[in-house]
Chain A
Amino acid sequence: MTMHFNDETFRGDYTYHNSPEAIRRFPFPFDQDSYMYSVNIEQHPGGPKGTPFEFKFDVDEHYVAEMKDREITLAEDPLRCQSLPHMELAGWDLLELIMVSKARDYPDLFTLHRDGNDWHWINKPLGIEKKFTFLDPTTLPCGPMEYITRQTQGDFALLHERDGNLWMDAGMVTSQADWSLDFDVGMNFFEWHAPVPKARKMGVFDKALKFLLAVGQGQHYRRLNWTMTVNPRLDTSPENYHKWGPEKRTITPENVGQKQFLRVELQTFFRLPRSNALAFPIRCYLANLEDLAIVPKWGRRLHRVLRDIDPDLADYKGFAVNQETIVTYLSQFDDGAPTSPGIFPDA
């Protein structure tokens, strides 16, 4: 195995850390010095070698630890994984998409042998070997979506298309930015986005829905979204808000560089073949301000973005109470020099 996996935690003692390579490949979400909602969709996969955009499903040094964290969250609250009865077929589609992609893109880590519907899957990092019958749920220990997403980083929503809308009828959500799958499952595109300020008025969701409905088989897309999280915590669910909420108020000028994390979601979209459902994986990447500022372009830009952001958005993204401390800290990295376009570090 060529990849090293970190021994780290996303709760309690929070030993999560990024290696220098992980910082360098971090999916920094701002391509200019200011931020407002946009649809910002690109084709996926596709991006420089080594970036999180290279393959359909990125596997990185946090893989094993993230899967352990998911296991803990699910043991405490099984409702983080839900699939309405008509979504099982979409679950098989997702399982196939992920297994085929990972086995092709990471042959050192994953192997898939297929003989008709007799499948043999080997996941070396997690020590899993399983023979099962594709499309036969009795041959897996749990539903197909749950089975594969317990082995894949990121949250997953499976969207059912009907009546010119998309309905979030299944998902595995343990690293979300403060929304509840158990509450939102079964909602349509406009309902589950209802709490997002401003965007509806701007017509962003109408455009986004139109785009998503037109996504065809074999065309895959991605966009980046972001928020801010205190401590490297994956489970910032509303369910546990009363447990992690107090941590938000522990930011001081001394600890902000280490404790305040930029949380980036790499959202991707895949039309699934048999179910015609849309898979919506939401992969979470975390990096603290100190690490991000190692890349001079990012330090400058992050300062400008967070300083000038619309106050409603600062509130919605949950960092308004710490905004002043964050901006003051970041100002030391901003010498006023211009920044180059695009998200990648300068060579």
Chain B
Amino acid sequence: MKLALKVTEVETLSPLVKRFRFEDPTGAELPVFSGGAHITVEMPEGDIIRRNSYSLISDPYDGSAYEIAVRREDQGRGGSLYMHTKVSEGDEITVSTPSNLFQLDLRARKHVLIGGGIGITPFLSQLKQLDMEQKPYELHYAARTRDEAAGLKLLPEAAHIHVHISDEGARMDIGAILDGQPLGTHVYTCGPEGLIEAVADQAARLNWPETAVHSEAFTAPPPGEPFDVVVKSTGQSITVKADQSLLEALEEAKVKVEYSCRGGACGRCQTKVTTCDGRILHNDHWLSEDERGAQQDIMPCMSRFKGTRLELDL
């Protein structure tokens, strides 16, 4: 489902991060959501529509507006650049209804939230939910410099909210954070791959069960070398440009593919590969190691291809 909204606020939080507020143009209530949910934002440019997913940072139970924070990625496909340079107050913008791939496990006795850099965003809505549900939690926010730490403007000051600025010598000690937490604690990490891996490693070292360790790593699709893809049902050959994802190229060519997160996390766009003379560059978080190796499935929202022929069962 899509919502046609209006941009009502744009605020610069740091040199690289802007906050956007979207409201219904008639003032109608928007669907409320759960902590950790995201929306997909449409960015039309010429004939093509780019779509990126962003975590909601506003109060999940407040239907008056949705807010997101976007970090400018100069090396990306242009989605975040579009948000930074082409979107201003008063503009119309189309977004999806919220969906959640990073929800809190409300059974937990305690929640430990670890955000690195722009990975703080999903926790901003989760904090509000945890406060409302009166659940015990602690949040750790790590950034390189205070200047880059856009989240500082969005976080409340509270005893259980900890900020770690590595340039100021306050590096986050993940082992110390996880050690000695009460049985029934869940940990959630969002941020760079390295941070997610480090938390998973420390949790495993401390014998944490895997089901108590959650992460969200979905990112915008990476750009890469252009490549061609063949649609099996029609024989149509489509070129995927350097700054375009396979999913976007298929959509531009009017080939229908189901999708939801557009970040390699939800599994919705999984597509069968019928011919693969070459190597699939799997950039998703969905397929298992075995599935990657088999090269019989691809997640078009994130993954690319290097080789002579890629044919999809579409």
Q: Which of A63-101 contact B (CB under 8 A)?
A: 84-86, 89
**Closest CB-CB distance, A32 to chain B, in whole Å?**
27
Q: Is the CB of A273 within 8 A of B34?
A: yes
0/1 string, B265-278, CB within 8 A of A gives 1: 01110000000000
Q: Is the CB of B97 within 8 A of A89?
A: no
Judge whether B307 is part of the interface by a CB distance below 8 angstroms: no
A-contacting 9-mer, from B6-14, B16-24, B100-108, B230-238: B100-108
Q: Is the CB of B1 within 8 A of A276?
A: no
> Which of A89, A160, A271, A273 is most buried by chain B, counting CB atoms within 10 A of its CB?
A273
**How distant is the Cα of A135 from the Cα of B34 in the complex, in angstroms?**
14
Judge whether B177 is part of the interface by a CB distance below 8 angstroms: no
Q: Is the CB of A161 within 8 A of B103?
A: yes
0/1 string, A85-127, CB within 8 A of B gives 1: 1100100000000000000000000000000000000000000
> Which of B1, B37, B60, B98 contacts A219 (CB under 8 A)?
B1
**For B60, what are the chain A residues with a Cβ–Cβ distance below 8 Å?**
274
From A272, which residue of chain B is reached at the shortest CB distance? Answer: B34
**How distant is the Cα of A85 from the Cα of B32 in the complex, in angstroms?**
22
**How distant is the Cα of A317 from the Cα of B277 in the complex, in angstroms?**
50
Q: Is the CB of A217 within 8 A of B61?
A: no
Judge whether B88 is part of the interface by a CB distance below 8 angstroms: no
0/1 string, B122-145, CB within 8 A of A gives 1: 000000010011000000000000
Q: Which of A263-294 contact B (CB under 8 A)?
A: 271, 273-276
0/1 string, B86-110, CB within 8 A of A gives 1: 0000000000011110010111000
Given A217-B99, A274-B61, A275-B106, the answer on whether A89 and B133 have CB atoms closer than 8 Å is: yes
> Which of A135, A163, A210, A218 contacts B97 (CB under 8 A)?
A218
From B100, which residue of chain A is reached at the shortest CB distance? Answer: A276
> Which of A84, A85, A160, A273 contacts B33 (CB under 8 A)?
A273
B residues adjacent to A (C-beta < 8 A): 1, 31-34, 37, 60-61, 97-100, 103, 105-107, 129, 132-133, 211, 260, 266-268
From A214, which residue of chain B is reached at the shortest CB distance? Answer: B268
> Which of B100, B106, B107, B266 is most buried by chain A, counting CB atoms within 10 A of its CB?
B106
**For A89, what are the chain B residues with a Cβ–Cβ distance below 8 Å?**
106, 133
> Which of A86, A163, A214, A273 contacts B211 (CB under 8 A)?
A163
Q: Is the CB of B105 within 8 A of A273?
A: no
**Closest CB-CB distance, B258 to chain A, in whole Å?**
8
Other A-B contacts than A217-B97, A217-B99, A274-B60, 12 sampled, CB-CB below 8 A, are A85-B107, A86-B107, A89-B106, A210-B267, A214-B268, A218-B1, A219-B1, A274-B32, A274-B33, A274-B34, A274-B61, A275-B34
**For B268, what are the chain A residues with a Cβ–Cβ distance below 8 Å?**
214
**Closest CB-CB distance, A343 to chain B, in whole Å?**
27
Q: Is the CB of A86 within 8 A of B106?
A: yes
Judge whether A195 is part of the interface by a CB distance below 8 angstroms: no
**For B1, what are the chain A residues with a Cβ–Cβ distance below 8 Å?**
216-219
Q: Which of A243-280 contact B (CB under 8 A)?
A: 271, 273-276
**How distant is the Cα of A71 from the Cα of B1 in the complex, in angstroms?**
38
**How distant is the Cα of A135 from the Cα of B62 in the complex, in angstroms?**
13
Could you say which interface size class chain A belongs to?
20 to 34
Judge whether A207 is part of the interface by a CB distance below 8 angstroms: no
**Closest CB-CB distance, A186 to chain B, in whole Å?**
11
Judge whether A162 is part of the interface by a CB distance below 8 angstroms: yes
**How distant is the Cα of A57 from the Cα of B295 in the complex, in angstroms?**
45
Q: Which of A122-150 contact B (CB under 8 A)?
A: 135
**Closest CB-CB distance, B132 to chain A, in whole Å?**
8
A residues adjacent to B (C-beta < 8 A): 84-86, 89, 135, 160-163, 210, 214, 216-219, 271, 273-276
**For B106, what are the chain A residues with a Cβ–Cβ distance below 8 Å?**
86, 89, 160, 275
**Closest CB-CB distance, A175 to chain B, in whole Å?**
28
**How distant is the Cα of A271 from the Cα of B100 in the complex, in angstroms?**
10
From B107, which residue of chain A is reached at the shortest CB distance? Answer: A86
Top 3 nearest A-B pairs (CB, nearest first) are: A86-B106, A218-B1, A276-B34
**Closest CB-CB distance, A211 to chain B, in whole Å?**
11
Q: Is the CB of B266 within 8 A of A214?
A: yes
> Which of A160, A161, A217, A276 contacts B31 (CB under 8 A)?
A217
**For A84, what are the chain B residues with a Cβ–Cβ distance below 8 Å?**
107
**For B211, what are the chain A residues with a Cβ–Cβ distance below 8 Å?**
162-163
**For A219, what are the chain B residues with a Cβ–Cβ distance below 8 Å?**
1
**How distant is the Cα of A274 from the Cα of B132 in the complex, in angstroms?**
11
- 16 CB-based A-B contacts, threshold 8 Å: A135-B61, A160-B107, A162-B103, A162-B211, A163-B211, A214-B266, A216-B99, A216-B260, A218-B1, A218-B97, A271-B99, A273-B32, A274-B61, A275-B34, A276-B34, A276-B100
**For A273, what are the chain B residues with a Cβ–Cβ distance below 8 Å?**
31-34, 98
**How distant is the Cα of A216 from the Cα of B268 in the complex, in angstroms?**
11
**Closest CB-CB distance, A47 to chain B, in whole Å?**
20
**How distant is the Cα of A274 from the Cα of B260 in the complex, in angstroms?**
19
**Closest CB-CB distance, A131 to chain B, in whole Å?**
20
**Closest CB-CB distance, B288 to chain A, in whole Å?**
12
From A90, which residue of chain B is reached at the shortest CB distance? Answer: B106
Q: Is the CB of A162 within 8 A of B105?
A: yes
**Closest CB-CB distance, A119 to chain B, in whole Å?**
14
**For B260, what are the chain A residues with a Cβ–Cβ distance below 8 Å?**
214, 216
From A162, which residue of chain B is reached at the shortest CB distance? Answer: B105
From B108, which residue of chain A is reached at the shortest CB distance? Answer: A86
**For B266, what are the chain A residues with a Cβ–Cβ distance below 8 Å?**
214
From A161, which residue of chain B is reached at the shortest CB distance? Answer: B103
**How distant is the Cα of A84 from the Cα of B105 in the complex, in angstroms?**
13
**How distant is the Cα of A214 from the Cα of B132 in the complex, in angstroms?**
27
**Closest CB-CB distance, B123 to chain A, in whole Å?**
16
**How distant is the Cα of A60 from the Cα of B154 in the complex, in angstroms?**
50
